[in-house]
Structure 1
């Protein structure tokens, strides 16, 4: 996993803030259980940096702007029905509004954003390491802004 020290620093900055109310930091110990909702044919390609992050830094609600689930779930399960074109989408997190973050297993496990308002999938990052670093930087900036108010 890239940028491990910066990731650690960002997680600590957010979780140690006075206004922190999340429940972040539960760590996975069994990657096979973590991937239990991923189709067998897709499991071997699951991003190692994602699994390493869950093992080392954990999952849970980091902020209202971001929560990370304990494993990816098929989009069809989350929304309650099959949607054509979303077959390889596995949701792994989101925010407190209607935005979900997911892997697109059919496109090299890129990170995508799924929003019910947009009714489309937008590519955010080519890998989990880049995505989580950007997300954590953003959340830290939110926490810092709240501290000033």
Structure 2
């Protein structure tokens, strides 16, 4: 996983904040449970940096602006039905609004955003490592603004 020390500092900065109210930090203990909702044909391709992150740094609600699930879930399972064009979408997190963060298994496991306000998915990053670094920087800035405010 890229930027491990920087990720650790960002997670620590958020979770040690005076205003922190999340439940972040439960760690994934085994890939079988983590990948239980991933189709058998896709399990070997789930990004290693994602699996390493939730094993080392954990999952849960880091902030109202971001939560990380304990494993990817098919988008169709969350919706309760198959959605054309979303067959390879595996949701791994989101925010307290209507935004979901997911992997697109059909497109090199890029990180995408799924929102009820758009008609498709928006590519956010080519890797989980790049995505999580930017997400944690953003959350830290929100925490700092709240503390100053």
Counterpart secondary structure, 2:27: coil
Is 1:57–2:57 an aligned residue pair? yes
TM-score (norm 1): 0.99
In structure 2, the partner of 1:9 is 9
Provide the C-alpha distance between the structure 2 equivalents of 1:142 and 1:119, rounded to a whole number of angstroms: 28
Provide the C-alpha distance between the structure 1 equivalents of 2:54 and 2:76, rounded to a whole number of angstroms: 23
Counterpart secondary structure, 1:62: strand
Measure how far apart 1:127 and its partner are: 0.4
* Cα-to-partner distance string for 1:32-85 (whole Å, 9 max, x where unaligned): 110010000000011000000000000000000000000000000011111000
Gaps of 5+ in 2: none
* Cα-to-partner distance string for 1:79-125 (whole Å, 9 max, x where unaligned): 11110000000000000000000000000100000001113100000
Provide the C-alpha distance between the structure 1 equivalents of 2:47 and 2:135, rounded to a whole number of angstroms: 17
Provide the C-alpha distance between the structure 1 equivalents of 2:112 and 2:6, rounded to a whole number of angstroms: 23
After the TM superposition, list the runs of 4 or more consecutive aligned residues in structure 1 that deviate by more than 4 angstroms. none
Is 1:107–2:107 an aligned residue pair? yes
Gaps of 5+ in 1: none
Q: Please tell me the root mean square deviation across aligned C-alpha atoms, in Å.
A: 0.4
TM-score (norm 2): 0.99
Count of equivalent residues: 149
In structure 1, the partner of 2:38 is 38
User: How does 1:1-149 map onto structure 2 within 5 Å?
Assistant: 1-149=1-149
